[in-house]
Structures are given as structure tokens and as C-alpha cells.
């Protein structure tokens, strides 16, 4: 998307703009049926289907000549007519065949028969990380770090050869039965050193979204041609986060990840590529330091390997070597169990106890006991990661409960005993106020803010170090969307009940040019020079969704951890905050005129056609009245980006409590209308959407601060 300044087209007929990204080619009608395997012949005997994907299918087969199992991957016949996809299939085979690494699935051959192209690859008996996650849930941090360290080293080898994977995700990492990982599916590979451009095949890849959205680096999402080694690193960091927490990066709750591993993940997930690890090998080395072994072999495999009897003993004709080895192994296992229990009873050292038990071969372990100790180890790490930085800065007010929980796990933790002795007694909080249930009037809205502020021990209004003001929004329940009889409603405003269960701070105004300049050291706004006006108090405009994410990341660093976590509002949070208890098309009434909002209004709304005074630009924030929650400019001035991906039918399937939008998409939601919108487009329920990289002179954003 161009970074040039944009003025909206004056002949735009609808009330919002959608930006569409080219998609992967679809299968022609009738071509989505099963692809025939390679016919049985002198070379290969097909044993069964192993899986299917967007481009083709994979079979398990026996290579009769070499007497080994192989995987045969064939492209869909319906896609064989695409020179671009055939070229990609061939390129994948050529590239991977040249990459020799113990954690990359090897390609043995590329051939063609009457049905089409196929690859012959190394067979891995096991499952992929996505399947493992679905079957077992989140993995223990050491195991996950060990697996990803191996994959990082494999990717580093690919990068050394100038190869960028571009689709790193759990589904593309296989695990064999000994927990050894293998990176596969180089179908979207890009050769950094090749001279042909991505759009050489008729331009079909220009600006296409190639990859998987939730594992795609920001720069790759904005422009696939910007994919680099650092983009693969981001994707691998997102993969590590997913397998440790069971949640995608957008739902990241850092306190649930052990501190050292969290720092490694956050570095790999830095927004700017230059702020990430210098290379995948540096990432791999960091992860290896966090595991129980110094090699790149997964801990479970290496510990099993060192515990095996010597080869010459196992092959002894008398068999006594085998028996002795078994007894030795059993003795070591019992010794490790006893030592682990002593560590738990004497010092509550769960981390060291887990390390000892993980050295025992799986079939000799007590898995339920090991899982229990892992949970305690991880919880101790979480509590320490929460307590220690706050205690060092003397932020003591909210530490009593976590310190008491940690002492329940580790009663002999001397430092925590001393800390508990000096912590202030927490005041008795008032009873939790009830949820606000719309419709409610302005007095009820203000009373709800005051009650929740008292309950939380927080102010109703708060200002951060940058000077941004926030108002406390109490939790509540309302009807999201518009009733069928609301004039000028659109189809995708299906009315449904939504419950916001957690209070939060909402920006009193959209982000201003002065605030954006203070954080980002630049001002991209189109309206940065208005005669006779203080531009610093105008809302920042001409910012994309991606720009807003960069601002939020830097704002958090600049304001410090005590400022809370900043993000965009969800679509549901935005509409709840805008309505402030009202069921009408606008928070103030069922009509809109030039004294209530900055827009290209039609009056009387909704049936009239006459127009009022039209500024044809943004206006200083706070120029119009605030709603009952104390928020300004919720209608008009600038469109406000929300965090959600857009899906027209999402309302029909979204949860009642705290909906966050679909998991993926091609465009993001905007709300509130702008200086250029007609009155119907400024309604509380109106939904706009466009590509997250799009910038316009009527696009801005508002900030939420989590409590």
C-alpha cells in the first residue's frame, strides 16, 4: 500500500471502503477431489494416504530399491495448469534438496508421470506440532524451547543459503516418535539471491498475502516482498509462544511464560526487524541455554540417548550386558525419583526436581507426578516474574496476595518471608459493583464509573506520562448492532447481546498529533497545517492499523510498565464505550446536526438531503460534547481503528462475553465515521473495514489501557 498522502475520492458512493488482497489460487470446479497416488511400480509401493493440503496430497510409500519408507507429495491436478504453482513446486524440491540439516525434511527426488509432478521425501513417523498441541495442550517450557532451538538452527542453515521459508508455523514442524523436530513445507520459499521478482509470473503475487496470518511478521503481512530472515524469526517466535501457551500471539499474557523464555520470545517478536535477534543462530543459542542440555538435540531425546547401554554391551552374545543395562537404568530412575522428592520436601526446588525426572526415560516416569511438579515450577516462575520487578521499584500495594501464594508453594523462601513482613496491609475493598445493563442514563453511567473506581482503588480519570487522558469504563451489558427498524442500517449490524466483563481505561480523545509526535518523533498527518488553529490538538490522521501497533509498542516502552498494557479497543468495547448506555443511533439522540459532531452531515436525519456547515477537514479534539462516560469525538472527526479482523457474518457466531473478532482476515474494523462521512456512517453501530496497511486523511485511532 502506498505511503503517499491520501485524500478520499469525492465520487465514493458507499459509506466505507474495503481493501482486498489477492488470495491463493482456488482449485477449479471438480479439482478438489483426491489426487491419485503414484502408481505402484518397480520403485515405489504406496502404503496409504498421509495428509492433504492446499496444493496437494502426501502418501506414505516404500522405496523398494533402497528398502526405506518415503513420503510422496503430489500437486493437485487442478493446480497443475498454473505455471506459477508448478514453478513453486519445482523450486521447493530444488531448494530443499540442497539444504542438508538433521532437522529439515530431506527431498530425495522430483519426478513426473501421466498424472503430474511429484516429490519423494524423507518419511517422518509422528505428528506435527499443531496436532501435538491439540492432543496434549501447551508444552512445558523446556521441551518447547528445545524443539524450537533445533528448528531455529535448521532455519539458520536455510538462511545461510539465501533461502527464506515464509510459512513457519506449528503445522509445518514435524516431530518423530522420539520428539526430534523436522522443518518441512518450503512451498512459499523465496530465494534472496535470485534475480527474478516475485511478480514475474504475470504479477499474480504482487501484494498477495502468502503465509498464515497469525504466524506472519508485520512487515511480511504488509508486503510479502519484504519477507526476510528476520520475518522467519518472528514466525518461529510466534510458533514458540503458541506451543507454550496454547494461544496465538495476539492473546499473549506474558506472566504465564517463565521469565527467561518470555524475554526470548519478546525479542523474536519485536515489531521492527532490526530489534530482533541478530540471526536465527543467536535465537537458537538463547533457547538452548534455557533447556537442560547444551546440544541442539531435544532434551527428551538426548537424556534417553545417554541413558542407553553401550552398543557393545547390548550386542553381547550372552545377553548379560542387556540385563545389566536394564537394571542400571531402573536403578538410575529410582534414584532420580528419590532425589527429586528430597528436593521437593527439603527445598521446594521444583525446577531441579523436574529436571531430574525428565532425565528418566518416559516409560519409567510417573507422568502425573511430573506434570504436577511442572505446574508448580511454572507457577513459581510466574509469581517471581510478577513480584521481583515491582518489589525493586517499591510498588508494594498489590504484592501481598502473590507473595502469600508463592510462600504456600515454597514456605522456606526466606526473601519472600522478609518481603511479606514489610508489605502494607491491603485495605478491605468495597463489594464489587454490579454490571451496568443498558439502557442506562448518564447519571447511572457516572455512578458506575465512581463505584468501580472505588472498588479497584483507581481514579475515574487518569493521565499517563505522555499526557494522554483516560476514563475508567465500567463493565456492562448492552445490545450491540442496530435494530431492524433503525433508518439507514446495513445488513451486517445484526443486533445481539454482548457482555463486557472487565473494566478498562479508554482514551478520552483520539490520539492527537502532539501525542503521536511525542512518541514516534514524526507526524504523518495530512492536516498538519490549518490556518489559525493549534494543530497539536488535532487528531493524528493518515495512520494505518500497522502504524497504530508501532505507536502502542513504543508508548508502552516510553510510559513504563506501571502505565499498563496499551492496545486498540475491540469492536465490542468501542461500541459499548460509544453508546454509554444509549440505544439510539448516536449516543446523544436519534438525529445528528452540525453542532454534535464533525462530519458531512445531512439534516434532518435520516430522510432529509440538506447539508449543514462542512469543515472538509479534522477539528481539534474535544470540540464537541462528551458522552456520559466522558469520551469525546466518538462520532465523526476521524475513523478509529479497532483491533478486530473484519468478518461480515461474525455477529452471528461471536461469543456473548468479551468478543474479540475472528482469528484471521484481510481487513481490520474501523468505527465512528469521520469528517468526510455522512451522518448514517457515523452511527454507533456502523461498521467500516479496510486493509491494515491503508492510510487516509480521515483515519486515526483511540487507545485502551488495560487494568
Q: HEC profile for 497-508?
A: EEEECCCEEEEC
Output 269-275 pairs: Cβ under 8 A, ≥24 positions apart.
Answer: 269/234, 269/237, 269/238, 269/241, 270/234, 271/218, 271/549, 271/550, 271/553, 272/550, 273/217, 273/219, 273/228, 273/230, 273/231, 273/234, 274/230
Q: HEC profile for 523-571?
A: CCCCCCCCCCCCHHHCECCCCCHHHHHHHHHHHHHHHCHHHCCEECCCH
Asked whether the predicted pLDDT for residue 253 surpasses 50, the reply is no
Asked whether the predicted pLDDT for residue 21 surpasses 90, the reply is no
Asked whether the predicted pLDDT for residue 280 surpasses 60, the reply is yes
Give the closest residue to 477 by CA, choosing from 458, 498, 505, 504: 498
Asked whether the predicted pLDDT for residue 255 surpasses 70, the reply is no
Mode of pairing for the β-strands spanning 44-52 and 56-63: antiparallel
**Which residues does residue 700 pair with via DSSP β-bridges, in sequence order?**
640
The question of whether 312 is a catalytic residue gets the answer: no
Asked whether the predicted pLDDT for residue 568 surpasses 90, the reply is yes
pLDDT of residue 362: 82
Q: How far is 677 from 596, CA to CA, in rounded Å? A: 14
Q: How far is 16 from 32, CA to CA, in rounded Å? A: 35
Residues of the chain with pLDDT > 70: what percent?
Answer: 80
Q: Find out if CATH 3.30.70.100 is the number for domain 44-122.
A: no
pLDDT bucket at 297, cuts 50 / 70 / 90: very low
Q: How far is 544 from 556, CA to CA, in rounded Å? A: 19
pLDDT of residue 238: 92
pLDDT bucket at 320, cuts 50 / 70 / 90: very low
Give the closest residue to 543 by CA, choosing from 527, 558, 561: 527
* Average pLDDT in the chain: 80
Taking the mean position of all CA atoms in its chain, how far away is CA 81? 35
Give the closest residue to 352 by CA, choosing from 362, 339, 361, 363: 339
Q: Which residue has the cell 527431498?
A: 107
Asked whether the predicted pLDDT for residue 11 surpasses 50, the reply is no
pLDDT of residue 611: 47
Q: What is the pLDDT of residues 426-462, one digit of tens each?
A: 666 678 999 999 999 999 999 999 999 999 989 999 9
Q: What is the pLDDT of residues 573-594, one digit of tens each?
A: 999 999 999 999 999 887 777 6
Which element (helix H / strand E) includes 62? Answer: strand 56-63
Cell of 706: 488495560
Asked whether the predicted pLDDT for residue 596 surpasses 90, the reply is no
**Which residues does residue 191 pair with via DSSP β-bridges, in sequence order?**
163
Q: What is the pLDDT of residues 658-672, one digit of tens each?
A: 999 898 999 999 999
Residues of the chain with pLDDT > 90: what percent?
Answer: 38
pTM here?
0.45
Q: What is the pLDDT of residues 355-381, one digit of tens each?
A: 888 888 888 888 888 888 888 888 888
Asked whether the predicted pLDDT for residue 266 surpasses 50, the reply is yes
Q: Where is mean pLDDT largest: 47-61, 210-224, 335-349, 536-550?
A: 536-550
Q: HEC profile for 355-406?
A: HHHHCCCHHHCCHHHHHHHHHHHHHHHHHHHHHHHHHHCCCCCCCHHHHHHH
- Single out the catalytic residue among 153, 160, 167, 541: 167
**What class has domain 128-196+206-301?**
mainly alpha
Asked whether the predicted pLDDT for residue 604 surpasses 80, the reply is no
Asked whether the predicted pLDDT for residue 539 surpasses 70, the reply is yes
Q: How far is 61 from 67, CA to CA, in rounded Å? A: 10
Average pLDDT (16-36) is 36
- Comparing 231 with 94, the larger pLDDT belongs to 231
**Which segment of 186-190, 252-256, 529-533 scores lowest on mean pLDDT?**
252-256
Q: Which residue has the cell 510458533?
A: 239
Q: Find out if CATH 3.90.1580.10 is the number for domain 436-706.
A: yes
- Comparing 253 with 343, the larger pLDDT belongs to 343
Q: What is the pLDDT of residues 668-700, one digit of tens each?
A: 999 999 998 888 889 999 999 999 999 999 999
The ranges assigned to domains in the chain are: 44-122, 128-196+206-301, 313-422, 436-706
How crowded is residue 650: how many other Cβ atoms within 10 Å of its Cβ?
A: 19
pLDDT bucket at 211, cuts 50 / 70 / 90: low
Please give the backbone phi and psi of residue 472, each rounded to the nearest 5 degrees, phi first: -70, 125
pLDDT bucket at 198, cuts 50 / 70 / 90: very low
Amino acid at each position: 500500500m502506498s505511503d503517499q498522502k491520501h485524500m478520499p475520492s469525492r465520487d465514493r458512493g458507499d459509506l466505507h471502503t474495503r481493501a482486498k488482497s489477492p488470495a491463493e489460487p482456488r482449485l477449479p470446479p471438480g479439482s478438489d477431489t483426491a489426487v491419485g497416488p503414484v502408481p505402484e511400480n518397480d520403485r515405489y509401493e504406496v502404503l496409504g494416504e498421509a495428509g492433504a493440503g492446499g496444493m496437494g496430497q502426501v502418501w506414505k510409500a516404500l522405496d523398494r530399491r533402497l528398502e526405506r519408507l518415503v513420503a510422496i507429495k503430489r500437486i493437485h491436478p487442478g493446480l497443475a495448469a498454473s505455471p506459477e504453482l508448478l514453478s513453486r513446486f519445482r523450486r521447493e524440491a530444488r531448494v530443499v534438496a540442497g539444504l542438508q540439516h538433521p532437522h529439515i525434511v530431506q527431498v530425495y527426488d522430483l519426478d513426473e508421470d501421466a498424472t503430474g509432478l511429484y516429490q519423494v521425501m524423507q518419511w517422518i513417523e509422528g505428528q506435527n506440532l499443531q496436532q501435538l498441541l491439540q492432543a496434549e495442550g501447551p508444552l512445558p517450557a523446556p521441551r518447547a524451547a528445545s524443539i524450537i532451538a533445533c528448528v531455529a538452527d535448521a532455519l539458520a542453515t536455510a538462511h545461510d543459503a539465501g533461502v527464506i521459508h515464509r510459512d513457519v508455523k506449528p503445522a509445518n514442524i514435524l516431530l518423530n516418535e522420539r520428539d526430534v523436530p523436522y522443518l518441512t513445507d518450503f512451498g512459499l520459499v523465496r530465494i534472496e539471491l535470485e534475480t527474478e521478482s516475485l511478480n514475474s509470473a504475470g504479477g499474480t503475487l504482487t501484494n498477495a498475502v502468502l503465509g498464515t496470518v497469525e504466524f506472519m511478521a508485520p512487515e511480511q503481512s504488509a508486503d510479502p516482498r519484504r519477507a526476510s530472515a528476520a520475518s522467519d524469526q518472528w514466525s518461529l517466535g510466534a510458533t514458540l509462544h503458541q506451543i507454550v501457551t496454547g494461544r496465538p500471539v495476539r492473546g499473549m499474557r506474558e506472566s504465564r511464560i517463565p521469565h527467561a523464555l518470555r524475554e526470548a520470545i519478546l525479542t523474536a517478536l519485536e515489531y521492527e526487524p532490526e530489534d530482533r535477534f541478530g540471526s536465527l543462530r543467536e535465537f537458537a543459542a538463547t533457547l538452548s541455554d534455557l533447556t537442560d542440555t547444551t546440544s541442539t538435540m531435544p532434551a527428551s531425546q538426548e537424556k534417553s540417548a545417554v541413558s542407553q547401554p553401550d552398543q557393545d554391551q547390548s550386542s553381547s552374545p550372552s545377553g548379560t550386558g542387556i540385563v545389566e543395562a536394564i537394571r542400571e537404568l531402573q536403578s538410575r530412575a529410582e534414584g532420580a525419583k528419590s532425589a527429586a522428592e528430597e528436593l521437593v520436601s527439603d527445598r521446594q526446588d521444583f525446577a531441579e526436581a523436574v529436571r531430574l525426572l525428565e532425565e528418566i526415560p518416559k516409560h519409567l516416569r510417573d507422568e502425573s507426578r511430573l506434570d504436577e511438579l511442572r505446574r508448580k515450577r511454572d507457577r513459581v516462575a510466574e509469581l517471581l516474574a510478577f513480584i521481583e520487578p515491582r518489589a525493586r521499584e517499591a510498588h508494594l500495594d498489590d504484592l501481598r496476595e502473590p507473595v502469600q501464594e508463592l510462600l504456600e508453594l515454597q514456605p522456606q523462601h526466606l526473601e519472600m518471608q522478609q518481603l511479606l513482613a514489610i508489605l502494607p496491609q491491603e485495605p478491605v475493598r468495597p463489594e464489587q459493583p454490579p454490571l451496568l445493563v443498558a439502557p442506562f442514563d448518564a447519571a447511572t453511567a457516572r455512578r458506575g464509573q465512581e463505584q468501580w473506581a472505588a472498588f479497584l482503588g483507581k481514579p475515574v480519570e487518569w493521565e499517563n506520562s505522555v499526557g494522554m487522558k483516560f476514563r475508567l469504563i465500567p463493565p456492562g451489558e448492552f445490545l450491540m448492532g442496530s435494530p431492524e427498524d433503525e433508518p439507514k442500517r446495513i445488513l451486517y449490524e445484526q443486533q445481539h447481546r454482548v457482555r463486557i466483563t472487565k473494566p478498562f481505561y479508554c482514551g478520552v480523545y483520539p490520539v492527537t498529533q502532539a501525542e503521536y509526535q511525542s512518541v514516534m518523533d514524526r507526524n504523518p498527518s495530512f492536516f498538519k497545517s490549518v490556518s489559525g488553529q493549534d494543530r497539536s490538538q488535532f487528531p493524528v490522521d493518515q495512520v494505518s492499523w500497522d502504524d497504530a501497533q508501532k505507536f502502542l509498542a513504543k508508548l508502552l516502552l516510553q510510559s513504563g510498565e506501571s502505565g499498563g498494557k496499551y492496545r486498540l479497543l475491540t469492536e465490542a468495547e468501542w461500541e459499548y464505550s460509544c453508546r454509554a448506555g444509549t440505544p439510539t443511533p448516536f449516543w446523544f439522540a436519534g438525529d445528528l446536526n452540525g453542532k454534535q459532531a464533525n462530519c458531512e452531515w445531512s439534516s434532518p436525519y435520516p430522510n432529509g438531503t440538506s447539508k449543514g456547515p462542512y469543515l472538509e477537514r479534522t477539528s481539534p479534539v474535544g470540540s464537541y460534547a462528551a458522552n456520559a462516560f466522558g469520551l469525546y469525538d466518538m462520532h465523526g472527526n476521524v475513523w478509529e481503528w479497532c483491533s478486530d479482523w473484519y468478518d461480515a457474518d461474525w455477529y452471528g457466531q461471536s461469543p456473548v462475553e468479551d468478543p474479540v473478532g475472528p482469528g484471521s482476515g484481510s481487513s481490520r474494523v474501523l468505527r465512528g465515521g469521520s469528517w468526510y462521512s455522512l451522518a448514517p456512517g457515523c452511527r454507533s453501530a456502523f461498521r467500516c473495514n479496510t486493509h491494515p496497511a491503508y492510510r487516509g486523511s480521515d483515519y486515526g485511532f483511540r487507545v485502551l489501557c488495560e487494568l
